[in-house]
Structure 1
Amino acid sequence: MIPGVLVSVFAACASLAAAQTTTTLQAESATLSGVTVATAVAGYSGTGYVDGFDTSTDEIRFTFNTTKAQLYDLGIVYNGPNGDKYTYVVSNGAGGSQISLPATTTWTTVAGGQVLLNVGVNTISIQSNWGWYLIDYITLAPSAVRGPHQVTTKNVDPNANADAKALLEYLGTIYGKNILSGQQDQDSLDWVTTNVGKTPAILGVDFMDYTESRISRGASSTDVDKALAFAAKGGIITFVWHWGAPVGLYDTEDHPWWSGFYTDATDFNITNALVDTTNANYTLLIQDIDTIAVQLKKLQTAGVPVLFRPLHEAEGKWFWWGAQGPEPAKKLYRIVYHRLTNYHKINNLVWVWNSVAKDWYPGDDVVDIVSADTYAQGDHGPISATYNSLLALANDTKIIGAAEIGSVMDPDLLKTYQADWVYFCVWSGDYISGGSWNSLDLLKSVYGSDYVLTLDEIQGWKTK
């Protein structure tokens, strides 16, 4: 950044803090690493925009001054001619957030969450992530004080049993006050217990290996048994479903059968399967749902409520249930909901939706909790942009969960940003035990926080 531009940016931000107004920082005037200033796409402001995000180290870094320490709302003006992308924003070296940049050929403003700025010099970095987008400028405006949440703890299933009601009500009592710790996979949860000295409050397990297309190829699972055992210890259960396509698995060296939940591993077409209720592929979908119902009934009979997260990450389109866009994904979600609740009378479920975009949302009447999966290696910020997007998605009427994360969030930053995730669930294997995503010292610090609830601290949660 040239000295003259730096001075003008300092002055703009000083004025911002004093007058509580919005300021604009042009991308072409920032410090650029691996990217270039361009002018070919019309409609930009200033003297150009920034192009060339094509490697993981590419970055725009804004350096500026403020006279008041507080949270600011960040806006990003971008152009996305190369399809749906993500960028990554880091404020003062911490508190990063992954930001969705939907495909567009016009200059568009997207909310970049909140950033905590200090008195004096601050930095905001836009880092490549998926890359292949254009950045025009960013805006900063002081964040409004957030009032009390307006969430409902009435289950969407009108016949929800006492266990499901108790779980949602309990989450409502801690929402905004604490966060439940969670860990995917029994072995990884045991690793936390042994090495961190605390046991997560939530165990994440998977219905993946219970359906015919996998069982017929030799798959088996004891995850339901593990869920029953953990619940007997006073823990909370969340189930995801890596739903292997019921037919059409490529089963090749590049795309083995066990990857059959991925879009690129099957020719199963959800739109065609849902065109009517008489075709063979629709029948196979119903058979798979019925198979999962058998397992859910075991949990219901044992008095175990489940945070149930079907069709996760649909908007990413990397799973077959999202490959054809939002409408068939939402239709299938509602089929799963009605088949389980109305046909099978399974009423121990708290229904968790797991995409952020508004056009993917299946509706308030079939969603108890909204959630997202976020992975940012080494960054332990509050994931505030995603949280704020979920807040807006359901107009602050639904509790919000971090259903999958790679790096655990700093509890102090969660409180500062008012990113009131009700629970987190770290993914399994190296994400928790490898050291590069989460150091052992950090995990001990997080699990030792009064803000983070562990298994021993939630005993008797059904009656709290």
Structure 2
Amino acid sequence: MRALIAFTALVLTSHAAAQFEKRIYQAEQAELKGVKVGTSVQGYTGHGYVEGFDEASDSIIFSVNSTSTELFDLEIVYNGPYGDKYTTVVLNGAGGSQVPLPATTEWKSVPVGQVLLNAGINTIELENNWGWYLVDAIGLQVSKQRGPHHITTIPVNKNANSDAKALLEYLGSIYGRNILSGQQDQASLDWVTQNVGKTPAILGLDLMDYTESRKSRGASSTDVDKAIAFAKRGGIVTFCWHWGSPVGLKDTNDQSWYRGFYTDATDFDIESALVDTTNANYTLLLKDIDTIAVQLKKLQDASVPVIWRPLHEAEGKWFWWGAKGPEPAKKLWKIVYDRLTNLHGLNNLIWTWNSVDPTWYPGDETVDVVSADTYSLGDHGPIAATYNRLLALANDTKIIAATEVGSVMDPVQLQAYDADWVYFCVWSGDFISGGRWNSLEFLKEIYNDPYVLTLDEIQGWKGVNTQ
């Protein structure tokens, strides 16, 4: 009997090992559109690799047979001798996820998230996007079932007030069970209410027009008042800060002052400003932070906790706070955190980091939530690759949010891929109302899906036990 048990265990172990065995598909054996097989760059596997991604329509189409509907981890084996690039991964001809291919002169494997394969023949297409890279193969492996999350709902600010504690606790209570709907800008949120028939649970706002470099040129804002009003309705608010550079605005016909948060619209150098604490530009940074503190204090006094997202999209480098790389950006983040928390006593903030690359991460001790902004026209996929990168960034100890999206994610796919975004926030204007990024019919489906929580469904969220 013992021998039979041992034999059975061996068979089961072997089956399990086979189940999770990686399957490799050579690029040169796939269907090639506008690209060709190369052999001059040594180190590839198989009989060659695929090169020539120089036209928008160029792609490789892999045919993959699956015996059942199952979730697979996908990786790309590539070489990137021409700098940082991107490819777009399209599953079964629908949607598409943008995947970064960092510069390398060696053949490397990069994980690109998961794909849900149907039983039968599936296609995985690598579309050009930002081309000039070499593709050797793709690898597929059945995804191992993810265990429970290990998130913390204790704010990083030890003096966080009861409002901030309640908000983080509430986010943790729905994490992996539901997703909160969100909308940037009051006018766009009102459009959702009027046209979809439901009101988002989260209102996204901006502290952009409260600092001197913009106010001195006529800018003004009532977003803080709108936040207080929405919170009185039982909603949740989140603020970003398109921080107009405090000095150095080019203010030309091509680069107007109101674009002053963009790297190309200002001469402000964050690296030199942070060299020491005595130079004039450092002082101007502190002045702007202090100005914003006044507005955040109004929210704190009104018992409004804020999902606070400063220095967003830093790793993109298109904003001046990220223009000089990760070290100045992380240094500025810590200055903002320290000044608002310890000098100004702002204890109503949920600190939300908004870059995915681990070299930019300022550290767990000043971050409550990790997040990403993603825009892919017409793609309602789960953004699983980005979610998984954020999961790894903080070792699954932080709640994860989709703080800006163009196209809303399909709740069915979110659950199938275990992409447990705690909320989405659609950007304003045409992104929500134009019909290209999100059709009205699709929005109605989203807002009536039980997985998606709306304003009427989160009433009383502050009553979550925070002990």
**Band of TM-score, shorter chain:** over 0.9
* 2:8 aligned residue: none
TM-superposed deviation, 1:295: 0.4
Q: Structure 2: how far apart are the matches of 1:81 and 1:222?
A: 49
Q: Is the 8 A contact 1:98 1:385 kept in 2?
A: no
* 2:167 aligned residue: 167
Read off the aligned partner of 2:40 and give its amino acid letter.
A
Structure 1 residue runs of 4 or more that deviate by more than 4 Å after TM superposition: 15-19
Q: Is the 8 A contact 1:182 1:200 kept in 2?
A: yes
Q: How does 1:60-459 map to 2 (within 5 A)?
A: 60-94=60-94, 96-459=96-459
Deviation per CA, 1:22-72, whole angstroms, max 9, x where unpaired?
011112221222333223333222222222333433322111212132100
* 2:5 aligned residue: none
SS in 2 for 1:115: strand
Deviation per CA, 1:61-94, whole angstroms, max 9, x where unpaired?
1112121321000011122233322222122234
TM-superposed deviation, 1:182: 0.2
TM-superposed deviation, 1:18: 6.3
More displaced stretch, 189-198 vs 15-24 = 15-24
Q: Structure 2: how far apart are the matches of 1:50 and 1:260?
A: 42
Q: Structure 2: how far apart are the matches of 1:436 and 1:101?
A: 28
The gaps in structure 1 that reach 5 residues or longer are: 1-14
TM-score of the superposition, structure 1-length normalised? Answer: 0.94
Q: 1:412 to 1:392 in 2, by over 3 A?
A: same
Q: Is the 8 A contact 1:34 1:59 kept in 2?
A: yes
Q: Is the 8 A contact 2:19 2:142 kept in 1?
A: no
Q: Is the 8 A contact 1:98 1:386 kept in 2?
A: no
Deviation per CA, 1:383-402, whole angstroms, max 9, x where unpaired?
00000000000000000000
Q: Structure 1: how far apart are the matches of 2:139 and 2:42?
A: 20
TM-superposed deviation, 1:344: 0.5
Deviation per CA, 1:424-450, whole angstroms, max 9, x where unpaired?
000111111111110011000000000
TM-superposed deviation, 1:17: 11
More displaced stretch, 55-64 vs 323-332 = 55-64
Q: Is the 8 A contact 2:20 2:143 kept in 1?
A: no
Q: Is the 8 A contact 1:16 1:23 kept in 2?
A: no
Q: Structure 2: how far apart are the matches of 1:378 and 1:369?
A: 27
TM-score of the superposition, structure 2-length normalised? Answer: 0.94
* 2:38 aligned residue: 38
Q: Structure 1: how far apart are the matches of 2:18 and 2:181?
A: 40
Read off the aligned partner of 1:307 and give its amino acid letter.
I
TM-superposed deviation, 1:16: 11
Q: Is the 8 A contact 1:95 1:413 kept in 2?
A: no
Q: Is the 8 A contact 1:189 1:203 kept in 2?
A: yes
Read off the aligned partner of 2:224 and give its amino acid letter.
V
SS in 2 for 1:376: coil
More displaced stretch, 74-83 vs 419-428 = 74-83
Read off the aligned partner of 1:125 and give its amino acid letter.
E
RMSD: 1.5
* 2:3 aligned residue: none
TM-superposed deviation, 1:184: 0.5
SS in 1 for 2:42: coil
The gaps in structure 2 that reach 5 residues or longer are: 1-14
Q: Structure 1: how far apart are the matches of 2:132 and 2:251?
A: 32
Q: Is the 8 A contact 1:71 1:417 kept in 2?
A: yes
Deviation per CA, 1:109-131, whole angstroms, max 9, x where unpaired?
11110100111101111122233
Read off the aligned partner of 2:372 and give its amino acid letter.
A
Count of aligned pairs between the two proteins = 450
TM-superposed deviation, 1:19: 4.2
Q: Structure 2: how far apart are the matches of 1:436 and 1:363?
A: 38
TM-superposed deviation, 1:95: 6.4
Q: Is the 8 A contact 2:314 2:329 kept in 1?
A: yes
* 1:5 aligned residue: none
Q: 1:132 to 1:319 in 2, by over 3 A?
A: farther
Q: 1:51 to 1:255 in 2, by over 3 A?
A: farther
Deviation per CA, 1:213-241, whole angstroms, max 9, x where unpaired?
11111111111111111111111001011
Q: Structure 2: how far apart are the matches of 1:304 and 1:55?
A: 50
Read off the aligned partner of 1:40 and give its amino acid letter.
S
Q: Structure 2: how far apart are the matches of 1:203 and 1:297?
A: 18
Read off the aligned partner of 2:306 and give its amino acid letter.
V
SS in 1 for 2:24: strand
Q: Structure 2: how far apart are the matches of 1:169 and 1:217?
A: 41
SS in 2 for 1:114: strand
Q: How does 1:49-60 map to 2 (within 5 A)?
A: 49-60=49-60
Read off the aligned partner of 1:197 and give its amino acid letter.
G
